[in-house]
Amino acid sequence: MKEITLKPIGIIHTPYKEPKGIPIQGKFEKGVRGTVRLFPEYQAGLKDIEGFSHVILIYYFNRSKEERLTGRPFLEDTEHGIFAIRSPHRPNHIGFSIVKLESVKDGIITFSEVDILDGTPLLDIKPYVKHFDSRDKVKNGWIDKHFKTGKIPKRTRL
């Protein structure tokens, strides 16, 4: 198969300079904000995005130097297949986060509920659409046991 080449459309900026202390999912850190400055040639693509409360940021885990097919997730010490966890150490090093859109001005997107390292290259932005992206009767595999009580698990940070 032909090799695929991607190029960033902007750079993500957050308070998280190192992995230690970053939340495992942005929804666990409601008050933390980040920004993306889209490169000028992509800024026209932001038209009408301000009407969405949440967006999906698709990015490249540029600090991940390993590719693994198994790994230990942050919620437990058991190994799982890489496609059953959200580790950055995966083939292609692609990640995504659903963030709350706070504002869009002059090519700069401000968002909250962030779990991304500062300086991460942004590959794409998609609107989060409840009618498309939310499902009923979802099974969450091994993760469900950590949410049985309805409370947020204690291990929500790296």
Residues in the chain: 158
Q: Is 120 within the bounds of a domain? A: yes
Question: Does 158 fall in a domain?
Answer: no
Average the pLDDT over 76-80 and give the result.
81
pLDDT, the chain, mean: 86
- Condensed to tens digits (0 to 9), the pLDDT of residues 80-128 reads 887 777 777 878 889 999 999 999 999 999 999 998 999 999 999 999 9
Q: Examine residue 77 and state whether it is found in any structural domain, yes or no.
A: yes
94 within domain boundaries: yes
In a domain, 50, yes or no: yes
* CATH code for the domain in which residue 119 is found: 2.40.30.70
Domains identified in the chain, total number: 1
Please report which confidence band the pLDDT of residue 158 belongs to, taking 50, 70 and 90 as the band edges: very low
- Please determine, for residue 35, whether its predicted confidence score (pLDDT) is greater than 90: yes
Domain of residue 101, residue span = 10-147
- 152 band by pLDDT with thresholds 50, 70 and 90: low
- Give the percent of the chain with pLDDT over 70: 89
- Listed in sequence order, the residues at least 6 apart from 21 whose beta carbon sits closer than 8 Å to its beta carbon are 157, 158
Whether residue 23 lies inside any domain: the answer is: yes
In a domain, 154, yes or no: no
pLDDT at 68: 86
Q: Please check whether residue 138 lies inside any domain of the structure.
A: yes
Which residue, 139, 117, 143, 130, is CA-closest to 57?
117
What is the Cα–Cα distance from 37 to 52, expressed in whole angstroms? 18
Classify residue 113 by its DSSP letter.
S
